[in-house]
Copies of this chain bind each other. A is one copy, B any other.
């Protein structure tokens, strides 16, 4: 694919920077998409990035700065003066500019804004800086084309022409009243094929999907996905048009959310990437490892109470890994299904039915596995122990299914990411419950 670069090529670019081969570099980056240039830069050091950026057309440079990953960007932006940065921010889309400025120290941010010459952009950015990054307001761009309800098509087209340079992708023209209240939209297609003297009020589509600036970014993503939208307008509480959110930013939200869920499922507590510092990576993993370890020590403590029994029947210890592993696997399977149902927008059918189904699936798997293990143990070990292990296994499967089902629902109700329930927490709990069940069953059946 064109958007992967070999280490060899990146090294070649780096060498060209070292030797100041500007003509070669300019030629190499001509007609290359800004997203690809940013990708090459990921492999270079901050000084090289800055060197290349200054060779590029400022418009392209602004796009590159927007496209590059946060960590890399923060690294090399510190090499720029506020004046140099303001030159790029003048040409950056307001949503990206606000994100970039948000990551800078307040003093630098203020200096950059003070040095900007594009006054409309400054207003946009200052407005966007008010919003939290993970709400609709933090996701939107101010650049859009809007038309007054009292205009005609010809006036609309003039407005598109006027805004053409500012607004990169015009998906739709928003229709507002004199107070900027959003009334609806006109698609580019309709505008293109309509006669010039048709009134906007006769052409526009009312009742369109919109979001409020305070809505959570995941809500925005769900809504755009549900209605198959490529752009959505953002309004304030009065219904005034504030900006628009485009699908590319929402795709990033969806991808990030999936990554966060995966990390939650695997017990990594901060958003880390392979390129982060060693200590950051270790630290992100430690909390859940310590939870797991504490669980293990609790388990050791519990087993300590059975020292005499274990001395008498050491074979009881043999099946500890079987019991704990199966409990863990069953619990994670159950919770993942529930987490996905929660994510895809709730469930159908009543709660009672829901739990009944979980119970039945657990029953089917529990019976199958317990029988398999019983047959195996009956052939190779003591008959009494075979019964104990199978009864315990069955109970553990039932309990782990139940735990795996209710934990994500409870977490979700508490406002905690339910994906955590597929992670080390539930595994640790299931380990302990499994041990408890196993040794209780043994105590009842063996003595």
Contact = CB atoms under 8 A, between A and B. Distances in A.
B265 A207 contact: no
Interface string A356-392: 0100110011001100110010001000000000000
A222 B3 contact: yes
A214 B253 CA distance: 28
B262 A339 contact: yes
Interface residues on A, range: 35 or more
Contact of A189 (B160, B286, B318, B376): B160
A223 B36 CA distance: 11
Contact of A329 (B289, B297, B338): B289
Interface string A19-58: 0000000000001010100010011000000000000000
A275 B340 CA distance: 12
A414 interface: no
A413 interface: no
Contact of A326 (B39, B225, B292, B337): B292
Contacts of A219: 1
A346 interface: yes
Contact of A288 (B3, B268, B329, B360): B329
Contacts of A292: 325-326, 329
A33 B192 CA distance: 25
A45 to B, nearest CB: 12
A14 interface: no
Given A189-B164, A304-B315, A328 B427 contact: yes
| Tally of this chain's copies | 2
A329 B267 contact: yes
A151 interface: no
Interface stretch (A84-92, A101-109, A277-285): A277-285
A330 interface: yes
- Residue of A188, A295, A311, A347 with most partner-chain B CB within 10 A: A188
Contacts of A328: 328, 427
22 contacts: A4-B346, A42-B348, A160-B193, A247-B251, A254-B258, A258-B261, A262-B422, A263-B340, A265-B266, A266-B336, A267-B329, A273-B340, A275-B348, A278-B364, A281-B337, A281-B361, A285-B365, A290-B369, A311-B314, A317-B320, A320-B320, A321-B431
